[in-house]
Structure 1
Amino acid sequence: MKQFFLTFPLLFSFLFFFQCTPALSQSPAPAPAPPALVPAPPALSPASSGSTDVTAILGKVGHFATFIRLLKASQLADQLNTQLYKSNQGLTVFAPTDAAFANLKSGTLNSLTDQQKYQLVQFHVLPSFFSVSQFQTASNPLRTQAGGSDGQFPLNVTTTGNQVNITTDMVNATVTDTVYTDRQLAVYEVDKVLLPHGLFVPPPPPPTAPLKSKQRPASESTQSNDTPHVQVDTSSGIQLSQHALRATSSIFLVLAAFI
């Protein structure tokens, strides 16, 4: 009995140690992994996002500052961006370089009113998309945002191989580079400002009705009784007044009395 009490604590310690050893030998549980990052969606191009910005496209090139200023001042830039978003026909922009504007005659832009500057920028925009190959089959004159083929804003495009030539009634220009194209918007660099004759020469005034001759009043055409009449002696060509005739008749009557 005494021996049992001596071995019991030893047996209890052994069992306790045996139960705890597996728990101590296990490695701690790993920390939970951070959630995987969701990759950002790829950046959309201007055409696919529906927010094409013509001035932003020109600004990246760096030598269209004057044309960009005209686009913004006339508020045509916002109009073109909205038109691109809503229309399926697209747009074609002929963008003159800063050097092209510098080659204009001094005071050319300053001589234009705000409305004329707006029409000038519109004249550089076609209301439909044209690739270089499509210019080969285009029907001249082309319609621009400034007007149709009514003669005031004529614009003709011809091609020689891959070279595109633009002719107005004042300027012969050439497309020197393709700035941007996405099958909806085409922006071409041109070496001259496209000037239409209709902006600088006012249209002829409408014909005026011929003036009607004024009829003289009856009072002016009828001579009064006080106005002496002139009688013409056709035999001698001498004109005698009425008073002279009366005096002559009196003289003849006196002479006849003495005869």
Structure 2
Amino acid sequence: MAAPPCSSLLLLSLTTLLLLSPTTFAQSAPAPAPAGPINITAILEKAGQYTFFIRLLNQTQADIQIDNQVNNSRDGMTVFAPTDNAFHNLPTGTLNNLSFQQQIQLVQYHICPRYYSLDNFQTVSNPVRTQASGQDGRVFGLNFTTQAIQVNVSTGVVEVPIYNAVRKDFPLAVYQVDKVLLPIEFSEASAPAPGGSRSGGSRSADSGNATTPSTGNPAGNGAGKMSVGLGLLSGILLLCVGLLS
């Protein structure tokens, strides 16, 4: 017995819908947008509280260096980003006392030229080189220690825990730090030379020592005059004695 025309049409419509629906759904689903290039400034701006560090990155052009490496190399990079409060808590005049070259080194000291996850810091070999290394023939390195799941970073002057990853995916890791990482090399450069004075102070001290003998010259001249007077008097007395005899 033939199926009613209405039933045949309904069956045909359902079959057609089932055949076309996967294609229809696949076409309607939006394709994932391609990931754009990594931009360190945009990452920090989105996270907030990094205004001062962003300014230093821009002034020293370290932001361009970071973006170029993470987008064009296989090593990646790691950035330790001090918060605005970290800069505000620095002793007064700390940054103003740095030369522009030292400010560049300070920013680069917060950047490692390869990617490190938090797990990597548990087995890394200290000191870990930073972008500031190699300048002036010195190694600007960071030291990492772990306690349970806590990772600390130390410069020899400053030690601070790492507990917040602003970005943790390869090729760029960005970790928040609540203190500015001041290199121990800066402290060594400003420390007095052995003996309690810098090289300039040594020259000044030498000059002071050179003037010491001059302070004794007046006394020396008086003694010379007295000796001449006594000799003259002795000569006159001897002459008188000779004439009397």
Instruction: Give 1 or 2: higher helix fraction.
Output: 2
- Whether TM-score is above 0.5 comes out as yes
Alpha-carbon offset, residue 66 of structure 1 = 1.9
Q: Which ranges of structure 2 fall in alignment gaps of 5 or more residues?
A: 1-26, 211-223
Which residue number corresponds to residue 147 of structure 1?
133
Which residue number corresponds to residue 185 of structure 1?
172
In the alignment, is residue 254 of structure 1 matched against residue 239 of structure 2? no
In the alignment, is residue 196 of structure 1 matched against residue 186 of structure 2? no
Kindly indicate whether the alpha-carbon contact (under 8 Å) linking 1:122 and 1:144 is maintained by their aligned counterparts in 2: yes
Amino acid corresponding to residue 183 of structure 1 in structure 2? F
Q: What is the Cα-based RMSD across aligned positions, in Å? A: 3.7
Q: 1:160 aligns with which of 138, 147, 165?
A: 147
Kindly indicate whether the alpha-carbon contact (under 8 Å) linking 1:229 and 1:242 is maintained by their aligned counterparts in 2: no
Partners of 2:56 and 2:225 lie apart in 1 by 78
Q: 2:160 aligns with which of 169, 173, 192?
A: 173
Alpha-carbon offset, residue 85 of structure 1 = 3.5
Alpha-carbon offset, residue 102 of structure 1 = 3.1
Amino acid corresponding to residue 253 of structure 1 in structure 2? G
Which residue number corresponds to residue 57 of structure 1?
43
CA-to-aligned-CA distance 1:83-110 (integer Å, 9 cap, x gap): 2234332211111222323333344334
Change (3 A) 1:164 1:158: same
Kindly indicate whether the alpha-carbon contact (under 8 Å) linking 1:176 and 1:191 is maintained by their aligned counterparts in 2: no
Which residues of 2 match residues 118-157 of structure 1 at below 5 A? 118-147=104-133, 153-157=140-144
Which residue number corresponds to residue 19 of structure 2?
none
Alpha-carbon offset, residue 254 of structure 1 = 3.3
Partners of 2:243 and 2:107 lie apart in 1 by 100
Q: 2:33 aligns with which of 43, 46, 69?
A: 43
Amino acid corresponding to residue 129 of structure 1 in structure 2? Y
Alpha-carbon offset, residue 164 of structure 1 = 1.0
Change (3 A) 1:130 1:148: farther
SS at match of 2:98: coil
Q: Which ranges of structure 1 fall in alignment gaps of 5 or more residues?
A: 1-36, 214-226, 232-238
SS at match of 2:133: coil
Which residue number corresponds to residue 22 of structure 1?
none
Alpha-carbon offset, residue 124 of structure 1 = 0.7
Matched length = 194
SS at match of 1:158: strand
Alpha-carbon offset, residue 76 of structure 1 = 0.9
Kindly indicate whether the alpha-carbon contact (under 8 Å) linking 2:76 and 2:114 is maintained by their aligned counterparts in 1: yes
Which residue number corresponds to residue 3 of structure 2?
none
Partners of 1:67 and 1:39 lie apart in 2 by 41
Change (3 A) 1:243 1:99: closer
Which residues of 2 match residues 33-112 of structure 1 at below 5 A? 42-46=32-36, 51-112=37-98
Alpha-carbon offset, residue 148 of structure 1 = 5.6
Amino acid corresponding to residue 189 of structure 1 in structure 2? Q
Identity %: 41
Partners of 2:53 and 2:232 lie apart in 1 by 86
Alpha-carbon offset, residue 40 of structure 1 = 8.1
Q: What's the TM-score once normalised by structure 1's chain length?
A: 0.61
Q: What's the TM-score once normalised by structure 2's chain length?
A: 0.64
